[in-house]
Amino acid sequence: MLRYATKSDLPRIAEIYWAVWHETHGPLMPQSERDRRTQDFFQKKIASFAPCALVMEQDGVIVAFSAWQGVMVGQLFVEPKWRGSGIARELMEATEAELVKSGVDEGELHCVVGNDRARRFYERLGWVSQGEFQEETAGSEDGVSFWRMTKTLSA
């Protein structure tokens, strides 16, 4: 079941966010950034998600979520067990529809360089890389490389 997130969903969203971030992004980050990203960090980060977040449930348990702000899709995280099930596609398509409802013509997301599985997923959905940029992180003088990806959402 796909639905808007509520405040009561935030602890579960934080669990998924923490676990999946450390699995998919953590290996591509400096150790100090991984150390900084504690469960408490994610609890605080998701505090403002509910107004612009969707969750996907299976058997009454949240297994994936997305969140956005303005034109930016900031999060799309799916528990490993549910990858390949179509949940991510459904969640991303619903997120894109929410962006369109709010008047966004071109969406944007940032995918950490090295997360090739995610990049391929986004490209299959029509997202296009606009090149790399560096984002500052704890413990990285030069920053970490991300692909800036965009997609035209409405004609």
Report how far residue 57's alpha carbon sits from residue 38's, in angstroms, rounded to the nearest whole number: 24
Q: Is 132 exposed, middle or buried (0-12, 13-18, 19+ CB in 10 A)?
A: exposed
pLDDT at position 138 over 80:
no
> Edge-to-edge, what's the strand order for the sheet holding 61-69?
2-4, 53-58, 61-69, 72-78, 106-112, 140-152, 128-137
- For 102, half-sphere exposure in the C-beta direction (CA atoms, 13 angstrom radius) is 17
Domain containing residue 41: CATH number = 3.40.630.30
pLDDT band at 155 (very low <50, low <70, confident <90, very high): low
Give me the amino acid identity at 116.
D
Q: What angle do CA 89, 78, 46 make, to 5 degrees?
A: 115
Percent of the chain topping pLDDT 70: 97
pLDDT tens for each residue of 30-49: 989 999 999 999 999 888 77
Stretch 11-23: mean pLDDT = 96
Q: Is 113 exposed, middle or buried (0-12, 13-18, 19+ CB in 10 A)?
A: middle
Range of the domain at 115: 2-152
Is the whole-model pTM more than 0.75?
A: yes
- Number of compact structural domains in the chain: 1
Tokens of 23: 């699995």
